[in-house]
Structure 1
Amino acid sequence: MLEHGGNLRDAAREYGRALADWIDLSTGINPHWYAAPAPHASAWHRLPEADPALAGAACAYYKAPAMLPVAGTQAAIQALPRLRAPSRVVVAAPSYAEHAHHWGQHGHQLRQVPYAQLGAAVDGCDVLVVCNPNNPTGERIAPELLLEWAAKLAARGGWLVLDEAFGDTETQAGLGSHTGKPGLIVLRSVGKFFGPAGLRLGFVAAHPALLAQLADMLGPWSVGGPAQQVALAALNDTHWQEAMRERLRGEGLRLHQLLAAHDIASTGTALFQWWPEERATAFWRHMAQAGIWVRLFRQAAHGIRLGLPPDEHAWLRLQQALTAWKHL
């Protein structure tokens, strides 16, 4: 199993600090999560048959013609490689490691290609997997270019798999509306922008025939009843969405400026900042000793990613830890 952020119990055990004393900035999940009403009692008792209203709300929110709810986009990431015969697969690098991990199985021929070289790689692959915006670097590829690549791949029966898990604050860049034709598959996450990552809920936008194959592979009752009810409320709450986008953009800029004030040149999204760090392991340990858990990337992306502090006290602790690091 690959290493991910959010492993706060590991931090507490390693550094001997109680869970309540930690600030977890390791995931990029919105710290101001959607406060959904309690699910109806039937959601806990009945088998979770699919609610058409949820798929309809997702289509409206993501502007896609058809969507399949899944138990987090992780479920789709694991299943999609099993829906193709052995193929030539290019995964953008660095990016969310689960993509390459699963496409590297099931007989596929896998290459990991830097973002700057993806255009040259399109003609030599059957499947191209891209995070946009990228996790962890925040790098972006123009929608027009992605659609051009998708058309090339679709013409020979290929796929562009587009992971837009961090795309909710960049509503003009999403490609869900283009998924009615074969060849383009878009993954969307409820946990990042809305914040309830514990629901394990995401959506896949794609041609209906592929969604039917994916649904068959995932089997019945793949999304719990409480998760469906909470997500339905969140997807329909346009007032909360608009206010939260504005708030996160402001806080993302604040984080970027705070890092810059401590001589850290970062990039990212409204939900996280990233930078390649020569002393990445030392920085990670320094922050952990201050009770701040950040994400250390040791391999393809050697650097640090950190998310938004949840409150002013956490902002102050982060500032103090950064100041101490700057003066080491």
Structure 2
Amino acid sequence: MATPAAFLGHGGRLGAARAAWPNAPTPWLDLSTGINPRPYPVPVLAPEAWSRLPDPESLRALERVAAKAFGVADPARVVAAAGSEALIRLLPRLLTTARVAISARTYGGHADAWKVAGAEVVDARNSTADLRVLVNPDNPSGQALPPGQVLALTDGPLLVDEAFVEVDPALSVAPLAGAPGRERLAVLRSFGKFHGLAGARLGFLVAEPALAARVRQALGDWPVCGPAITAGLAAYADAAWAARTRLRLADDAARLDVLLRQAGFEIVGGTTLFRLVRAADAPRRFEALARAGILTRPFPWDETLIRFGLPGPQPDWLRLADALENLR
């Protein structure tokens, strides 16, 4: 049983899922993305957030608040953009890089972006590359390297995608990125995954000031919408919510582990926002879950793997438990 190609590149393909399985029960339960299902409670938006162009000072304020949350001493090194994906696509057009080392089994958007820009993408272990890209914690394996190991990977330019690092901030090398002596280190941070607000499209680059200035210039005057700025200002200043959320995610991930093991899956990786599991008949299981209106994430390099995000409200947990019970 072949998994439809539409689901092998990214999660969140609900439109394709509705088309592929039109008789599936609705609403769909989307577990394919690894986004926090209990989002940050965004404050009520002032009408001006929608009706006016974002004020440049509010954007700078967002970058200052984000810098503090990331442990970055100089906010000039922090650049806000409309999602880390926008930065992933932009950086290859700004940097003169002929050969980039990226794992073949990590988030595929990095390799795609560098290939489109004309760079040669080589194995992550290739020591002749002009730039190395690391996703830490990795997506989808969840493998996480401590800062010392990250910094020891290369003496050359290193771009670290920390999209899932909010679950364990101690792993982050963002405080060092672009600082004196670390000019070759740059970091990407994502707002939407941990805060459960992927629709806000907000992400950040942390880099040395000259590169940060080039990125700001390339992004233009209004790189982030007003509602996203409002959400980011509130969420990054709310350390108590973040601490509570990390504890809840750990509990929910453990609860998901129990369900997955009972269904016969082997847990082979993940973070507290998602679990990577293996089953010999994973394509059949992906299809069966889809027919039950539950979308998960398969992978092109290994058909035995599936990634599960966390359910949110109790009815979603019960729905997943029932569907997993029917797999056995």
User: TM (normalized to structure 1)?
Assistant: 0.90
| 3-state DSSP of counterpart to 2:90 | helix
> 2: CA distance between counterparts of 1:296 and 1:214?
33
> 2: CA distance between counterparts of 1:174 and 1:279?
36
Which of 163, 167, 170 is the aligned partner of 1:169? Answer: 167
Does residue 1:82 correspond to 2:97, yes or no?
no
> 2: CA distance between counterparts of 1:88 and 1:26?
31
> 2: CA distance between counterparts of 1:217 and 1:279?
46
What is the 5 A alignment of 1:13-28? 13-17=19-23, 20-28=26-34
Deviation at 1:17, TM superposition (A): 4.0
Question: How far does the alpha carbon of each residue in 1:205-248 deviate from its partner, in whole angstroms, 9 at most, with x for none?
Answer: 11111111111122220101111011100111112111111101
Partner of 1:95: 106
Question: How far does the alpha carbon of each residue in 1:100-121 deviate from its partner, in whole angstroms, 9 at most, with x for none?
Answer: 00111223121144xxxx3xx3
| 3-state DSSP of counterpart to 2:194 | coil
Which of 80, 85, 97 is the aligned partner of 1:69? Answer: 80
> 1: CA distance between counterparts of 2:207 and 2:304?
33
Counterpart code for 1:138: G
Question: How far does the alpha carbon of each residue in 1:40-61 deviate from its partner, in whole angstroms, 9 at most, with x for none?
Answer: 2222222223322111110111
Structure 1 residues 19 and 35: CA distance shift in structure 2, 3 A:
farther
Identical counterparts, % of pairs: 37
Q: Is 1:272–1:307's contact at 8 Å kept on the other side of the alignment? A: yes
Deviation at 1:133, TM superposition (A): 0.7
> 1: CA distance between counterparts of 2:160 and 2:289?
33
Deviation at 1:264, TM superposition (A): 1.6
What is the 5 A alignment of 1:177-216? 177-179=175-177, 180=179, 181-216=182-217
Counterpart code for 2:275: Q
Deviation at 1:19, TM superposition (A): 7.7
Q: Is 2:299–2:305's contact at 8 Å kept on the other side of the alignment? A: yes
Structure 1 residues 19 and 3: CA distance shift in structure 2, 3 A:
farther
Does residue 1:34 correspond to 2:40, yes or no?
yes
> 2: CA distance between counterparts of 1:112 and 1:13?
36
Which of 9, 15, 18 is the aligned partner of 1:12? Answer: 18
Deviation at 1:160, TM superposition (A): 0.8
| 3-state DSSP of counterpart to 1:188 | strand
> 2: CA distance between counterparts of 1:86 and 1:170?
31
Structure 1 residues 61 and 41: CA distance shift in structure 2, 3 A:
same
Counterpart code for 1:165: A
> 2: CA distance between counterparts of 1:301 and 1:69?
36
Partner of 1:232: 233
> 1: CA distance between counterparts of 2:282 and 2:195?
29
Partner of 1:128: 132
* Structure 1 range deviating more: 71-80 or 90-99: 90-99
**Structure 1: 5+ residue runs without aligned partners?**
154-158
Which of 37, 48, 53 is the aligned partner of 1:47? Answer: 53
| 3-state DSSP of counterpart to 1:21 | coil
Deviation at 1:175, TM superposition (A): 0.7
Question: How far does the alpha carbon of each residue in 1:148-171 deviate from its partner, in whole angstroms, 9 at most, with x for none?
Answer: 225x11xxxxx2111110111101
Q: Is 2:72–2:176's contact at 8 Å kept on the other side of the alignment? A: yes
Q: Is 1:9–1:19's contact at 8 Å kept on the other side of the alignment? A: no
Q: Is 2:265–2:278's contact at 8 Å kept on the other side of the alignment? A: no
Cα RMSD over matched residues? 1.8
* Structure 1 range deviating more: 37-46 or 178-187: 37-46
- How many residues align structurally? 313
> 1: CA distance between counterparts of 2:134 and 2:303?
15
What is the 5 A alignment of 1:245-256? 245-256=246-257
> 1: CA distance between counterparts of 2:326 and 2:303?
25
* Structure 1 range deviating more: 71-80 or 268-277: 268-277
User: TM (normalized to structure 2)?
Assistant: 0.90
Partner of 2:220: 219
> 2: CA distance between counterparts of 1:160 and 1:297?
26
Structure 1 residues 325 and 235: CA distance shift in structure 2, 3 A:
same
Partner of 2:3: none
Counterpart code for 1:22: W
Structure 1 residues 89 and 302: CA distance shift in structure 2, 3 A:
farther
